[in-house]
Amino acid sequence: MNPLLASGDPLFAHGVTGVVLLIVLIKVLVGFGAIMGAVTIMIWFERKAISDMQSRIGPQRWGPFGLFQTLADGLKLIGKEDLVPSEADRFVFKLAPYLVVVPALITFALVPLGGTIHVAGHAVMLQVANPPMGILLMLAMSGISVYGVMLAGWSSGSKYPLLSSVRASAQMISYEAALGMTIVTIILATGSLSTHNIVTSQGGGVWHWNLIRLGVVPFVVFLISITAELNRPPFDVVEAESELVGGFHTEYSSIRFGLFYLAEFMNTITMSAIIVTLFLGGPAGWIPPVAHFKWIFPIIWFVLKTSGFAFAYVWFRGALPRFRYDQLMDLGWKRLIPLSLGWMLIVAGFLIAPGWGFLMAAAVFLSWTLLTRAFTLGQSREVGSEAVLPVVGERPIPGRIIRKLTDGES
Amino acid sequence: MIAGAYALASVLVFATAALLILVGAIGVIALKNPVHSALSLIMTLFGVAIAFVAQSADFLAAVQIIVYAGAIVVLFLFVIMFLGVDRREHVHVEPLVGQRAFAAVGAAITVGGLVVLMARSHWVTGAMSVSTKGVALATGQANVKQLGTAIFTTYLFAFEATAALLVIAVVGAVLLARRERSVHDEEVEVDA
Is the pLDDT at B164 greater than 90? The verdict is yes
Identity of residue A35: I
Return d(Cα B13, Cα B20) in angstroms, integer.
11
How far B56 CA sits from the closest chain A CA (Å)? 7
Return d(Cα B179, Cα A152) in angstroms, integer.
34
Q: Which of A7, A166, A180 comes nearest B81 by C-beta?
A: A166
The answer to whether A21 faces chain B, any CB pair under 8 Å, is no
Residue with more model confidence, A59 or B132:
A59
Q: What percent of chain B has pLDDT over 90?
A: 19
Q: H or E segment at A134? A: helix A134-155
Tell me the residues of chain A between 374 and 393 that have a Cβ less than 8 Å away from chain B: 385, 388-389, 391-392
CB A328 within 8 A of CB A228: yes
- A122-125 vs A116-119, strand pairing mode: antiparallel
Asked if this assembly's ipTM is beyond 0.90, the reply is no
Tell me what pLDDT residue A288 has.
75
The answer to whether A401 faces chain B, any CB pair under 8 Å, is no
Q: Could you tell me which of A226, A228, A210, A220 has the C-alpha nearest to residue A272?
A: A226
Contact B140 A403 (CB under 8 A): no
Q: Could you tell me which of A217, A198, A193 has the C-alpha nearest to residue A208?
A: A198
Return d(Cα A301, Cα A276) in angstroms, integer.
10
Return d(Cα A122, Cα A24) in angstroms, integer.
11
Tell me what pLDDT residue A4 has.
46
Q: Which residues contact residue A185 at a Cβ distance below 8 angstroms, ignoring those fewer than 6 apart?
A: A214, A218, A340, A343, A344, A347
Helices (H), chain B: 2-30, 34-54, 58-63, 73-83, 99-120, 141-149, 156-177, 183-191
CB A238 within 8 A of CB A325: no
Tell me what pLDDT residue B189 has.
47
pLDDT band (50, 70, 90) for residue B92: low
Tell me the residues of chain A between 215 and 274 that have a Cβ less than 8 Å away from chain B: none
Tell me what pLDDT residue A394 has.
66
Residue with more model confidence, A229 or B130:
A229
pLDDT band (50, 70, 90) for residue B130: very low
Q: Which of A66-70, A98-102, B36-40, B182-186 has the lowest mean pLDDT?
A: B182-186
Which residue from B minimizes the CA distance to A95? Answer: B39
Instruction: List CB contacts (< 8 A) between B6 and chain A.
Output: 2
The answer to whether A15 faces chain B, any CB pair under 8 Å, is yes
Contact A133 B61 (CB under 8 A): yes
Secondary structure (3-state) at A313: helix
Tell me what pLDDT residue B131 has.
47
Residues in chain A: 410
Secondary structure (3-state) at A69: helix
Tell me what pLDDT residue A159 has.
81
Q: Could you tell me which of A203, A207, A204, A201 has the C-alpha nearest to residue A189?
A: A201
The answer to whether A173 faces chain B, any CB pair under 8 Å, is yes
What pLDDT digit, counting tens, does each position of A132-143 carry?
Answer: 788 888 888 888
Q: Which of A131, A132, A143 comes nearest B65 by C-beta?
A: A143
pLDDT band (50, 70, 90) for residue B183: very low
How far B24 CA sits from the closest chain A CA (Å)? 16
Q: CA-CA distances (angstroms) from residue A171 to A138, A185, A328, A334?
A: 18, 22, 8, 13
Is the pLDDT at B175 greater than 90? The verdict is no
Q: Could you tell me which of B69, B105, B2 has the C-alpha nearest to residue A17?
A: B2
Contact B140 A8 (CB under 8 A): yes
Walk along chain A (410 residues) in steps of 10 and give the mean pLDDT of each run. 52 72 85 88 88 85 82 85 80 86 88 77 76 84 85 83 83 86 88 82 79 84 89 80 77 84 88 88 77 79 88 88 84 88 89 88 91 83 60 67 64
Tell me the residues of chain B between 41 and 100 that have a Cβ less than 8 Å away from chain A: 42, 56, 58-59, 61-63, 65-66, 69-71, 74-75, 77-78, 81-82, 86
Beta bridge partners of A118: A123
Contact A89 B82 (CB under 8 A): no
Identity of residue A32: F
CB A298 within 8 A of CB A283: yes
Contact B136 A1 (CB under 8 A): yes
Q: At what angle do helices A90-109 and A18-53 cross, to 10 degrees?
A: 100
Return d(Cα A251, Cα A152) in angstroms, integer.
9
How far B85 CA sits from the closest chain A CA (Å)? 11
Interface test mutation site (partner A, options B35, B48, B58, max chain A beta carbons within 10 A): B58
The residue extents of the domains of chain A are 5-286+294-377
Structural domains of chain B ordered from first start? 1-87 (1.20.120.1200)
